[in-house]
């Protein structure tokens, strides 16, 4: 797999730009007018919100209750590609503690964080950009990226040593979130008319799926109307289980030509479908574009867990979903090949998955 070894420009930590007391954000973060968030109209936009699903009944012995929850998940996947889940089985205290440990990490002195500075060859560690094209517009965020699965990629020495609780929390948090991911994969499989384990196996099987965490840190921004925390993109992998900052909204989902601001519920996860599920389901399910806006008063920390296929497994539309009337829409490709696009070019809406479609 070819990859680029170094960043095209000196890396600037967005968080530490602020320490220099700037009032105007540097030109490279200023988006062109059509890409800027319209902060005034957005807060006035309808009460629309992504669906909220209570997962409590998903594993009930009562077939009917189980089926009802599964169909709510199916409708949310088809209509939105995004939903919030409550009663998801991950301990609330653990989630909160993990997020606060990461907040502490980002508040450490720059020299400490720089020990984990990342490069575009693997993206693991402390980073501030996605994509390696020179002179492109940058997003108002820093992040930390790490692998949990497959085990061959897990290396706790690459995870922050400080705060001292961090590694243990990440380990426990990952275990519970990955378990939730496995349950959702079963629901998606049966909802699509596939065998319960189909998607999980297509991703590599339990210990072999790809599971990685990106902690996003969005510093306060003196000119939030000019920039974005993350530009529009669809997640390249399978599904994302996001713990947003329930006190600071920021995530916006593209729905029916509007940007809908998600109103996070306490202790809820936001689940969204990525490009690999669009490919495997032959576009019965679709990944959805989303972006993040920033604000002048509050920083924001979010935990994005990516539940992906193992990188070296060929992924293609499920045979069972291919019929005479439904030709395969996407060619076979490994996730390692697939994600080179976003890793090289940065977030570009749904350009990649749409460009793959084979002509009908």
Contact of 119 with 129, CB cutoff 8 Å: no
Query: Interface with Ni ion includes 275 (CB under 5 A)?
Result: no
CA dist 18 and 136 (Å) reads 21
From 10-18, 144-152, 244-252, 332-340, give the range in contact with ligand OGA by CB under 6 A: 244-252
Our CB check for ligand OGA shows the closer of 132 and 329 to be 132
Q: Which of residues 227-256 bind Ni ion (CB under 5 A)?
A: 235
The radius of gyration computed from the CA coordinates of the chain, to the nearest angstrom, equals 20
Site string for ligand OGA, 254-283 (x = CB under 6 A): ------------------------------
Contact of 217 with 26, CB cutoff 8 Å: no
Cis upstream peptide for 163 (omega within 30°): yes
Our CB check for ligand OGA shows the closer of 43 and 360 to be 43
Instruction: Quickly list H helices, 11-123.
Output: 14-19, 39-44, 63-79, 92-106, 110-114
Residue choice 139, 235, 289, 299 for contact with ligand OGA (CB under 6 A): 235
Any residues with CB less than 8 A from the CB of 115 and at least 6 apart, and which? Answer: none
| Torsions phi, psi for 158 (to 5 deg) | -90, -5
Residue 219 binds which entry of ligand OGA, Ni ion, none, with Cβ cut-offs from 5 to 8 Å by kind?
Answer: none
Residue choice 127, 250, 309, 317 for contact with ligand OGA (CB under 6 A): 250
Site string for ligand OGA, 167-196 (x = CB under 6 A): ------------------------------
Nearest to 81 by CA among 346, 360, 353, 316: 353
Tokens of 317: 């539309």
Residue choice 302, 308, 310, 343 for contact with ligand OGA (CB under 6 A): 302
- Site residues for ligand OGA per CB under 6 A: 214, 216, 230, 235, 242, 244, 250-251, 290, 292, 302, 304
């Amino acid at each position: 797999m070819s990859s680029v070894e170094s960043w095209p420009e000196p890396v600037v930590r967005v968080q530490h730009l602020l320490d220099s007391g700037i009032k105007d954000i540097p030109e490279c973060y200023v988006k062109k007018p059509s890409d800027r968030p319209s902060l005034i109209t957005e807060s006035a936009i309808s009460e629309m919100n992504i669906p909220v699903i209570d997962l409590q009944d998903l594993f009930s012995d009562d077939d009917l209750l189980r089926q009802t929850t599964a169909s709510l998940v199916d409708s949310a996947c088809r209509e939105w590609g995004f939903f919030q889940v409550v009663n998801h089985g991950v301990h609330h205290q653990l989630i909160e503690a993990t997020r606060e440990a990461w907040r502490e990490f980002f508040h450490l002195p720059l020299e400490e964080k720089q020990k984990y500075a990342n490069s575009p060859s693997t993206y693991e560690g402390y980073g501030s950009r996605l994509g390696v094209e020179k002179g492109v517009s940058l997003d108002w965020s820093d992040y930390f990226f790490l692998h949990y699965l497959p085990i061959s990629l897990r290396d706790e020495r690459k995870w922050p040593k400080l705060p001292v609780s961090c590694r243990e929390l990440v380990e426990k948090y990952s275990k519970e979130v990955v378990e939730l991911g496995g349950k959702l994969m079963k629901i998606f499989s049966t909802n699509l008319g596939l065998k319960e384990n189909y998607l999980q196996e297509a991703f590599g099987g339990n210990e072999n799926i790809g599971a990685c965490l990106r902690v996003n840190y969005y510093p306060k921004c003196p000119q939030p109307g000019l920039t974005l925390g993350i530009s529009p993109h669809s997640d390249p992998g399978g599904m994302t289980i996001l713990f947003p900052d329930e006190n600071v909204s920021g995530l916006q989902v593209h729905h029916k030509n509007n940007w809908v601001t998600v109103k996070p519920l306490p202790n809820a996860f936001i689940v969204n479908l990525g490009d690999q599920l669009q490919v495997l389901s032959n576009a019965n399910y679709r990944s959805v574009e989303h972006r993040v806006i920033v604000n002048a008063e509050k920083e924001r920390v979010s935990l994005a867990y990516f539940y992906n296929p193992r990188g070296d497994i060929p992924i293609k539309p499920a045979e069972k979903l291919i019929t005479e009337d439904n030709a395969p829409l996407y060619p076979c490709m490994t996730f390692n090949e697939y994600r080179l696009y976003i890793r090289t070019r940065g977030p570009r809406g749904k350009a990649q998955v749409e460009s793959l479609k084979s002509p009908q």
